[in-house]
A and B are shown apart, each in its own frame.
Chain A
Amino acid sequence: MTEFLTTVFNLIQGILGVAPTTLALALPWMDIFWAFVYFVGAVILLIINVIMLIWIERRAAGFFQERVGPNRVGPFGLLQTVNDTIKLLGKEWIMPASADRMVFLIAPLLVVTVAVTMYGLLPYGPGITPVTLNVGILFFLAVSSTNTIAVLMAGWGSNNKYSLLGGMRTVAQIISYEIPMALSIIGIVMLSGSLDLGEIARSQSHVWYVFIQPVAFVIFTISALAELTKSPFDMTEAEQEFVAGYHTEYSGIRFTLFFMGEYANLFSMAALGVVLFFGGASGPWLPPWMWFIGKTYVFILFLLWIRWTFLRIRVDKMMKFNWKFLIPVALANLLVTGVGIKLWQHFVERSI
Chain B
Amino acid sequence: MAKEFGTLFLFLAGGFVLSLVIVFVNWLLRPRNPSSAKARTYECGLETEGPTWVQFKISYYLYALIFVVFDVEVVFLYPWASSFKSAGLVPFVEMAIFIGVLALGIWFAWKKGAFEWN
Contact = CB atoms under 8 A, between A and B. Distances in A.
Contact of A249 (B22, B42, B75, B115): B42
A324 interface: yes
A320 B16 contact: no
B68 to A, nearest CB: 9
A338 to B, nearest CB: 6
Given A36-B10, A109-B16, A120-B7, A91 B42 contact: no
B63 A130 contact: no
B29 A89 contact: yes
Contacts of B4: 131-133
Residue among A111, A119, A190, A195 with most chain B CB within 10 A:
A190
Interface in B61-102: 63-64, 66-67, 70-71, 74-75, 77-78, 81-86, 89, 92, 95-96, 99
A53 interface: no
Interface in A147-173: 156, 159-162, 164, 168, 172
Interface string A86-104: 0011111111111000000
Interface residues of A, number: 82
A293 to B, nearest CB: 19
A193 B78 CA distance: 10
Interface stretch (A9-17, A38-46, A277-285): A38-46
Interface in B24-56: 25-27, 29-33, 36, 38-44, 48, 52-53, 56
A212 to B, nearest CB: 13
A113 interface: yes
B60 to A, nearest CB: 6
Contacts of B85: 190-191, 193, 341, 345
B62 to A, nearest CB: 10
Contacts of B60: 168, 172
Contacts of B56: 168
Given A96-B40, A97-B39, A253-B26, A113 B16 contact: yes
B79 to A, nearest CB: 9
B29 to A, nearest CB: 5
Contacts of A316: 116-118
Given A109-B23, A253-B23, A114 B43 contact: no
B110 interface: yes
Nearest to A94: B38
Contacts of A243: 42, 44
A137 to B, nearest CB: 8
Contact of A248 (B19, B38, B42, B109): B42
Contacts of A89: 22, 25-26, 29
A82 interface: no
B30 A39 contact: no
Interface of A: 31-32, 34-36, 38-39, 42-43, 88-98, 108-109, 111-117, 119-120, 130-133, 135, 138, 156, 159-162, 164, 168, 172, 175-176, 178-179, 182-183, 186-187, 189-191, 193-195, 243, 248-249, 252-254, 256-257, 315-316, 319-320, 323-324, 327-328, 331, 334-335, 338, 341-342, 345
Given A35-B7, A43-B14, 9 more contacts: A38-B7, A90-B29, A109-B19, A116-B14, A160-B41, A164-B53, A175-B67, A189-B78, A331-B103
